[in-house]
Chain A
Amino acid sequence: MNLIVVGASAGLGRALADRLAQEKHNLLLIAGDEADLKAISADLNLRHSVQVEIAAVRLQCDQNSIEKVLAKASALGNIDGILFPLGYSRTDDDGTLGCDDINRIVNSNMAGIIALCSHYLPAMLQRGEGLLVFFGSVASERGRSSNIVYAAAKRGLQSFAESLRHKCSATNINVQYYQLGYLNTAQTFGKKLPFPAAEPKDAADYIVRNLNKRFGLEYYPWFWRFICLGLRYTPWMVFKKLKF
């Protein structure tokens, strides 16, 4: 398949790019740092002999950034699917951020993703097939006093994915949404975590193995399904006192 991976220079995205190249998919890799993308594409191309294109683009909801992606995507031909393991969070996301920071969080976790999807959806609908894989966060299960904008954006993304799935239910367009728990990446580096962080490599393995499965929402690692269930049903009187 010809696949786009947005957020491919680090963490889960990089692990996914490696696994997908191993499965002989041709790839367009997107992230902000060009030097990094070049190194990854050389590595994947040499080790797995697949076509790897790159676009150094900070995805956001504006035509300019979408055009930059399209310019590079044309080298691959028809795009069969897009995976969106990009994300951006910050430790001071406590409800007091300025516009630039809010825009970056909303763009990287929702708006940019919606914009790129919206561009490719008509062609996928016409062909009646395609693959769209989104990545949310357990942080968005229930709003807390930290990761405020991030959680809001991820919840928006989840709603968008749900709607797409509904819209595409009569087609072969597979819309997957992973609700992710902690991963051992730059996002969790050095943080004290109440639960173990999964290796991005293992997550990528799981995701690539399940690319053909049709499900709406899946928790990874699996145990988060139960933690989130507990969180959702924790009475407000208790929840408001939790500090995490």
Chain B
Amino acid sequence: MQVQPRQFISFDGSTRLNGFEAKPEHYRYFDELSNKFADASGKRSRQDAGAPGIAAEHVQTTDTCENGANRKSDTKNAPIDSENFNPAVISRGAGLSYAAASFGEKVCSVDHAQFNRILNFSKEQKLIEVEAGISLGKLYDFLIEHDLFLATQPGHPRITVGGCIAPDIHGKNQFMDGTCINQVESLKLFHPSHGIIELSPHSNEELFRLTCGGYGLTGNIISCKLKLKSIPSNMAEVTLRPLNRIEELPAMLRASADKADFIYSWHDFNVRGKDFGKGFVQEGRFIESGSRPAEQATATRKKAADQTLKAETRGGLPFPIFNPLSVAIMNALYGAKGANGSSFEMSLFDSVFPIQNVKELYFKFFGAAGFHEYQVVIPESNFGTYIEGIRHALKRHSLPITLASAKLFSGKRDLLRFTGDGICFAINFARGEEASKLLKELDQLVIRCDGAPNIIKDSRLSKEVVAACYPEYDLFRSQLRQFDPKRIYQSELAERLAL
């Protein structure tokens, strides 16, 4: 196992921490990890399931051996100061989470980038087995050739499957498809004290539910079997329906959600008065297409996707481009797109991953200081109160809102899963003093409205707010401790929320 010191930064620009990075290329890495955590009585391999916990003091020096073979300890050339090496570990996918979920101070982040292979595929059963480091883009490229696709995906092709399972992310029609856990048939989890365990809704169910939505804290997800959905072609038809009053949003979403393949809304929160929150609902359907466009742009696209959207480069601009004037203009222009309603066709890839290429500038325009996303799920009955609450809070803390968008949700809020019946509502704004004051008010507002904020999207949520909004917060903690009393898997997020 090779481990190096590294400074990590969160995608939203808020958190910069010194951790370690492990870049494993081989499966035997997991054996080595087991051995590193083995107790004094001798070496233990990953097959020794159920062995007792780890003894941190037995992690000695860093093994710098290139090809991972056993070798003498090489303290002289060790790239890290072993005295300071905290044996806590955490998995890292693409590192695109807004919160610091895949790293922590002195925590060793295990990069899954090389574990990105397709292991098995059955077109008939609509099942695929992949390693968890595979990107959604690579998976899309393979599946589209077979007219199949993953129903629940977040908006960028560099995001990994592991990064989707661990926070149990949602896609563009959560109301119909649920969250990511619904498309996981089974998964293989590695934990140094337990070896490799297979989890599914039918075996090790409790650990399965704890892992899908466990923010990487139960271990490294090595591989998983995913359920797939048939699609008629690689094209989608999109309809934009204007929305003049935000109060009408829940009814409008509800009217179409069960017929759409994806549906979400866009709102302008920068106009005052009765137009506050006007916008449009964007509804899409996968369609048969006579002229199926070639996916030959794939190579160029892949190259572009490889290079763009990284936590390290997002904050490249020293100053923000967004200010009240530029945001007002951007929103007016974007809003005009849907003001009269329209219908058009677009490629499936662009509709599944709307934020690529030039659109990624959106994140860069926040500058080095970064941004906040406040995403909540609110019961429909409290939606009006929530929006009124935001409107009043914005009067006190005038801030340009760069994005406001909603989706219809359904489900039961359990453990720390971001789900529930109601409206999922997100707003974006630049980081700063005024923003911090606004967020404090929003935290109280969401508690009053019986809602819950999205943990993976917010890098400053406190444990008090999370405990108040997630009734099973304590259950999550106790189940985690039961499985892993030594709490080997750690991150900034875990520490902040006292998980």
Contacts and interface: CB of A to CB of B under 8 A. Distances in A.
A and B pair up: yes
Interface of A: 9-11, 32-33, 35-36, 39-40, 42-43, 46-47, 88-92, 101, 104, 185-187, 189-191
Nearest to B77: A91
B121 A91 contact: no
Contacts of B71: 90, 101
7 contacts: A9-B25, A36-B28, A39-B117, A42-B119, A47-B118, A47-B142, A88-B67
Contact of B23 (A47, A104, A189): A189
Interface string B63-78: 0111101011010110
B120 interface: yes
B116 to A, nearest CB: 8
A10 B24 CA distance: 10
A76 to B, nearest CB: 21
Contacts of A90: 64-66, 71
A189 B117 contact: no
B76 A92 contact: yes
Contact of B142 (A10, A35, A39, A46): A46
A92 B74 contact: yes
A11 B118 CA distance: 18
B392 interface: no
Interface of B: 2, 4-6, 21, 23, 25-28, 64-67, 69, 71-72, 74, 76-77, 79, 114-115, 117-121, 131, 142
B26 A189 contact: no
Given A40-B117, A47-B142, A187-B66, A91 B27 contact: no
Contacts of B28: 33, 35-36
A186 B66 contact: yes
Contacts of B66: 88-90, 186-187
Given A33-B28, A39-B131, A186 B118 contact: no
B298 to A, nearest CB: 12
Given A42-B117, A89-B66, A91-B74, A33 B26 contact: yes
Given A46-B142, A91-B77, A32 B67 contact: yes
B262 to A, nearest CB: 27
Contacts of B114: 10
Contacts of B121: 46
Nearest to A44: B117
Given A9-B26, A43-B118, A88-B67, 9 more contacts: A10-B67, A10-B114, A33-B28, A35-B27, A39-B27, A39-B115, A43-B117, A46-B118, A90-B66
